[in-house]
Structure 1
Amino acid sequence: MNNLQNRANAVLAFSLSAIFCLLGAIALSALLIPTHPTGSVALDSIKVVTGRYDKNWVDYGTRDNQFANTVMRVDADLSSLFHWNTKQLFVYAVAEYSTPTHPKNQIVLWDTIIKRKSAAVIKKKNIKNKYTLIDLNKKWTNVQANVSLHWNVVPYVGFMTYGHSQLSEDYAFPLPSGVQT
């Protein structure tokens, strides 16, 4: 006969196997739920400013760096991404552009975390960029950028899924005031 330790081990092993099978089924079933999120982001204004990034940064210590400040509007309905296995959404606006030295550049302009389905409909205006827009070339001359809205679905159990809206039309970065070409 089996002693108490062997019986407890068998019960625990069976219970853990059953729990992991259940969690695997939950993770796979959440991928089958149809979603139809919509979202767009548009830049209302782009202003390029010349200045120093931070006095403590050696790389950006000169005063001739150019920084871009944006004002944007976000219109999105991401409520279809919420279901029984959605813990939260991470939503962010990304500017994509290319330069002669770097063919693909992406900068996050703004982000937010959505924890409830009731907050998943976003209609915001006059949003300023949350993060500094600075390029490795230190200049925003002749740059055309596209902006898109991205989201990550963080589940309770399973795989994190990603999505994004269509790219916007091209936005040109203007020259800083007082600078001639």
Structure 2
Amino acid sequence: MNSLQNRANAVLAFSISAVFCLLGAIALSALVIPGSPSGSVALSSIKVVTGQYDKNWINYRTRNNEFANTVMQIDADLSSLFHWNTKQLFVYAVAEYSTPSHPKNQIVLWDSIITRKARAKLSKKGLSNKYSLIDVNKKWTNINANVSLHWNIVPYVGYMTYGHSQASESYKFPLPSGTQS
């Protein structure tokens, strides 16, 4: 006859195995749930200023780098991405461009975390870029950028999935204010 300790061990081992099988089924089933999100980002203005960058502040009097400041409009309906295994959405706007020395560059302009389905419909106007737009070449001259909306689905259990909207149009960065072409 089995002792109490052996019986407790068998029950615990079986329940842990059952829980892990259930979590595996949840993780796999969340990958096949369809979603039809829609989103777009439009830049209403782009302004390039010159200054010197320090990790703690920007000095606009010394003209070493060019910084781009944008004003954008975001319209998106991401509510179809919320289901029983969605913990939160990480949503961000990305500007993608290429230069002769670096063929693929991506800069995050704005981001947000959405934790409820009711807040997944975005209609934001007049948003400034949240992060500094600084190119590795220190100049924004003759650069065309495509802007798109990206999202990450953070699940309770399973794999993190990614998605993005199509870039609407290409935006040309202007010359810095006060310079001639």
Q: Does 1:25 align with 2:25?
A: yes
How many residues end up aligned between the 2 structures? 177
Cα 1:41–1:123 change in 2 (3 A) is same
3-state SS, counterpart of residue 6 of structure 1: helix
* Alpha-carbon separation, structure 2, partners of 1:55 and 1:133: 13
Task: Give every structure 1 segment of 4 or more consecutive aligned residues whose post-TM-superposition deviation is greater than 4 Å.
Answer: none
* Alpha-carbon separation, structure 2, partners of 1:128 and 1:81: 26
* Structure 1 counterpart of 2:178, one-letter code: G
Residues 118-169 of structure 1, C-alpha deviations (whole Å, 9 max, x = no match): 0000000000000000001000010000000000000111111100000121
TM-score, length of structure 1 as denominator length: 0.94
What are the within-5 Å matches in structure 2 for residues 7-156 of structure 1? Answer: 7-54=7-54, 63-156=63-156
Unaligned runs of 5+ in 2: none
Report % sequence identity. 80
* Structure 2 counterpart of 1:131, one-letter code: Y
- CA RMSD of superposed structures (Å): 1.3
* Structure 1 counterpart of 2:25, one-letter code: A
* Alpha-carbon separation, structure 2, partners of 1:44 and 1:4: 72
| 1:37 to partner: Cα distance | 0.2
* Structure 2 counterpart of 1:65, one-letter code: N
Unaligned runs of 5+ in 1: none
* Alpha-carbon separation, structure 1, partners of 2:118 and 2:96: 30
* Structure 2 counterpart of 1:48, one-letter code: V
| 1:64 to partner: Cα distance | 1.8
Q: Does 1:174 align with 2:174?
A: yes
Residues 39-81 of structure 1, C-alpha deviations (whole Å, 9 max, x = no match): 0001000000001112769xxxx63200000000000000000
Larger deviation, residues 117-126 vs 5-14: 5-14
* Alpha-carbon separation, structure 2, partners of 1:53 and 1:77: 36
Cα 1:170–1:161 change in 2 (3 A) is same
3-state SS, counterpart of residue 111 of structure 1: strand
| 1:8 to partner: Cα distance | 1.2
TM-score, length of structure 2 as denominator length: 0.94
